[in-house]
Amino acid sequence: MRVLVAGGGGFIGGHLVKGLVADGHEVRSVDVKPIDQWWQEHPDVENWADTDLMGADACRRATKGVDQVFNLAADMGGMGFIENNKAACMLSVLISTNLLQAAVDNDVERLFYASSACVYAAEHQTDPNVTALKESDAYPAMPEDGYGWEKLFSERMARHFREDYGIQTRIARYHNVYGPNGSWTGGREKAPAALSRKVAECVVSGRHEVEVWGDGEQTRSFMFVDDCVRGTRMLTDSDVTDPINIGSSELVSINGLIDIISDIAGITVTRRHNLDAPQGVRGRNSDNTMILDRLGWEPSTSLRSGLEVTYAWVLDQVLAAAGAAA
């Protein structure tokens, strides 16, 4: 097929493009960033850098002549970023709106929309021993302020475009995706990459102290990027029209995450808890009942296995940065 990946220069987008190319699809990879800031640049791909899909004209050009669209484009990052950039996160609705309209205008058959577990109401996430979130928990609506509201609104818009215009939209609610070839410093990185960087810096410096946002007892599930890409493609090719969780069900505390990473690194670290830092909800996990029932599959990469790959990649980046600064 001829496939557009919006956000192809980003973390998940780069891995998705890699898989699509490996399977022989013709890929147009589009991102607002200049090409030297893309996490992955693949040969034999139509790469459109410096292309802002918030604009309607750019979306019409990007969707022309393609069969399928994967919309992973968004202004987002880890908890520190989304709590301090609510308006910027909500402006991603322009991408969602203009891509949907352009896809209809250009007779695109199918569009995948990457939503988030941030659509779930905070009242379901107040306990570290959280009951896993099922898809119906998104309503009555009270999502994460800013980023979560944009995602929930764009979900509904994708649904109504399918109902009114016939484009086959598919919606995944991602739960904390991590892995190599993504943000690991600078403020947009998520917990696995941020803590991998902090532990790697301990290895390099010999000072074995790690700053932890909050008391470290908040819990999450983390999904390795290879599972994310596989689930995304399975869902897009399926007949599942309802929003569906794509996330690991392996729950871990932030303190537990540090334990795993420091063990992989072969060091022992002390924790310095910053109780004033952004922490997000107290607990969040993915209920995978629906994805198992509808797709017969769920993310299965163990957290330890995924972190081994992620930490090794982040360590290489830290060592390279330290070498360049020397």
> Residue 39: which CATH number?
3.40.50.720
Residues 152 and 139: beta-carbon distance below 8 Å: no
The token pair at 64 is 């022309």
Q: What pLDDT score was predicted for residue 326?
A: 56
Query: 320: burial class by Cβ within 10 Å (0-12, 13-18, 19+)?
Result: exposed
Same domain, 64 and 199: no
Same domain, 130 and 213: no
Give the residue ranges of DSSP H helices in the chain: 11-22, 56-63, 79-84, 86-90, 93-105, 147-165, 191-205, 225-237, 254-265, 289-295, 303-325
297 located within any domain: no
Same domain, 115 and 136: yes
Spatial distance between the Cα atoms of 89 and 104, rounded to a whole number of angstroms: 24
Same domain, 51 and 194: no
Spatial distance between the Cα atoms of 111 and 70, rounded to a whole number of angstroms: 6
Spatial distance between the Cα atoms of 93 and 95, rounded to a whole number of angstroms: 5
Same domain, 155 and 184: no
How many domains, in total, are found in the chain? 2
293 located within any domain: no
Same domain, 127 and 143: yes
Nearest to 27 by CA among 51, 44, 7, 52: 44
Name the residues annotated as catalytic.
Answer: 147
170 located within any domain: yes
292 located within any domain: no
296 located within any domain: no
Spatial distance between the Cα atoms of 20 and 229, rounded to a whole number of angstroms: 10
How far does CA 74 lie from the centroid of its chain? 10
Same domain, 198 and 239: no
Torsion sign, CA atoms 197, 201, 203, 204: positive
Same domain, 64 and 114: yes
The tens-digit pLDDT sequence of the chain (326 residues) is 999 999 999 999 999 999 999 999 999 999 999 999 999 999 889 999 999 999 999 999 999 999 999 999 999 887 788 888 999 999 999 999 999 999 999 999 999 999 999 999 988 989 999 999 999 999 999 999 999 999 999 999 999 999 999 999 999 999 999 999 999 999 899 999 999 999 999 999 999 999 999 999 999 999 999 999 999 999 999 999 999 999 999 999 999 999 999 999 999 999 999 999 888 889 999 999 999 999 999 999 999 999 999 999 999 999 999 988 75
Compute the radius of gyration of the chain from its Cα atoms. 19
- Whether the full predicted model's pTM is greater than 0.85, yes or no, is yes
Domain holding 97, by residue range, is: 2-175+224-246
291 located within any domain: no
Q: What pLDDT score was predicted for residue 279?
A: 82
Categorise residue 44: left if φ over 0, alpha if ψ from -120 to 50, beta otherwise: left
Q: What pLDDT score was predicted for residue 74?
A: 95
Same domain, 66 and 168: yes
Virtual torsion, Cα 143, 148, 152, 153, nearest 10 deg: 110
Same domain, 91 and 155: yes
Spatial distance between the Cα atoms of 193 and 190, rounded to a whole number of angstroms: 6
18 located within any domain: yes
Q: What pLDDT score was predicted for residue 77?
A: 83
Same domain, 188 and 306: yes
Same domain, 314 and 228: no
Nearest to 39 by CA among 21, 14, 17, 22: 14
| CATH code of 314's domain | 3.90.25.10
276 located within any domain: yes
